[in-house]
Each structure stands twice: as structure tokens, then as C-alpha cells.
Amino acid sequence: MNQARQKILQNIRHSLGRNELDVNTINKLKARLAAHTVHEQPALPKDLISLFIHKLKQVAATLELIPNAKEIPFAVLAFLQKHNLAQKLVMDANLKNLPWPNKWQIAYRAAQVEDQLSVTTAFAGIAETGSLVLLSSTASPTTLNFVPENHIIVLHRKNLVPHIEAVWMRLRAQAMPRSVNIITGPSRTADIEQTIQLGAHGPRRLHVILVN
């Protein structure tokens, strides 16, 4: 722990009238974190895919279901053609080994203002809310999720979970990333005359490719 952070924590403890925690208290807190309880959760149907698709549609996102990862480039091409977009995109480096067409202009980097389409992979999908969970990494900078007007997210069926609590359980089993983004539908706001406007603070379109 660096000195600046240590100083801040000392000031907080001082303002609360607390001293350093004793060993017994520290051990109790560690045990509580290790054996965290999951509170009551709503019952969901067994068919999580149908529920996930239904929730996505409710938040103005779209979805295509494909049988395997090799079909991802074809699904991306269909999206490009549907929305009349150029074959120029910025992408999560985790998708680099897929059979992308040679003529496409693909960049594996942080998104920039001029980028129109980004393609990323999801750490998890939450059936209960139709949300996507994305983790920041060197291969997938957070800007890919928010800068381009069009965002395609690849989600593998094995990573579709029923409730949000399952996401945190998975995260606890690995090194915690710098940021965790939970995205539910395209960016929107109702600040202007209480009328929903898409693309206000991020992508105008959100398309999910679910690899079954």
C-alpha cells in the first residue's frame, strides 16, 4: 500500500474514532468475505436463452443466435450490411484468431471518436435483466464499449448466468479487473423533454451475438 493511500485511510479511521483493527477482527472479516451469503433471488424459467432474448428486446437491443464461433464474422457482416456500415471496425484482441475477411479494415486498439463499430467479448450475460458484463483489459480497452455508435458484443452460451450474484461469484474466483462494466441496452436518456433518445452517452445500437 502506498503512503498516500495509507494516509487517507488513517484520516478516515481517525474521523471515525477507530484505531487499527485487531487480528481477531481482521480474521472474522476475512472469514465473512470468504463465506458470503447469497440473498433471496427471484425464480426464473429454465430456458435462460429465451428470457435473455426477451429482456434484450425490452431495452432496444438486438440479438443473433449462432451455432459456433466460426460464424461470428458472418454475423458481423450481416449487421454491417443491415445498417449500411463500412467494413472498418475496432475490435477486442481476444477475437483476433477468427476467420475475418482479409479486405476488412480491423484495428485491435482503444476506440477513437471516428470509429463507427466496435466488437467485444462479454465476460457474462445476465438473463434476469438482459445485461452484458464486460471487463477491461489490455486486449479489450473500456473505450470499445462506449465510444463507437455501434457496439457488437459476443456472448458464449456457457457464460449466460441467471442472476447478477453469479457474476460476482465468478469474479471472485479470478484476479479482479480494473473496471467492470454492466451494460443493459444501448445508451439512452430522457433529459430532453422526457423523450427517450438513443445514443446520448454511448452506442446508439447494441447487438449481441450469442454463440450457442
pLDDT at 199 (0 to 100)? 47
Number of domains in the chain: 2
Backbone angles phi, psi at 208, to 5 degrees: -110, 130
Confidence check: pLDDT of 190 > 60: no
pLDDT at 30 (0 to 100)? 84
pTM of the predicted model, to two decimals? 0.82
Whether 10 and 108 map to the same domain: the answer is: no
pLDDT in tens, 61-114: 999 999 999 999 999 999 999 999 999 999 999 999 999 999 999 999 999 999
Range of the domain at 19: 3-34
Spatial distance between the Cα atoms of 23 and 202, rounded to a whole number of angstroms:
46
Residue 39 maps to a domain: no
Whether 16 and 61 map to the same domain: the answer is: no
Whether 59 and 26 map to the same domain: the answer is: no
Whether 98 and 28 map to the same domain: the answer is: no
pLDDT in tens, 111-165: 999 999 999 999 999 999 999 999 999 999 999 999 999 999 999 999 999 999 9
Whether 124 and 205 map to the same domain: the answer is: yes
Whether 110 and 25 map to the same domain: the answer is: no
Q: Please, which residues have CB within 8 angstroms of residue 186's CB and are 6 or more apart in sequence? A: 59, 60, 61, 151, 198, 199, 202, 203, 204, 205, 206
- Yes or no: say if 65 and 210 are a contact pair by the CB < 8 Å rule: yes
Whether 158 and 203 map to the same domain: the answer is: yes
Whether 160 and 114 map to the same domain: the answer is: yes
From the list 40, 45, 63, the residue with the least C-alpha distance to 127 is 45
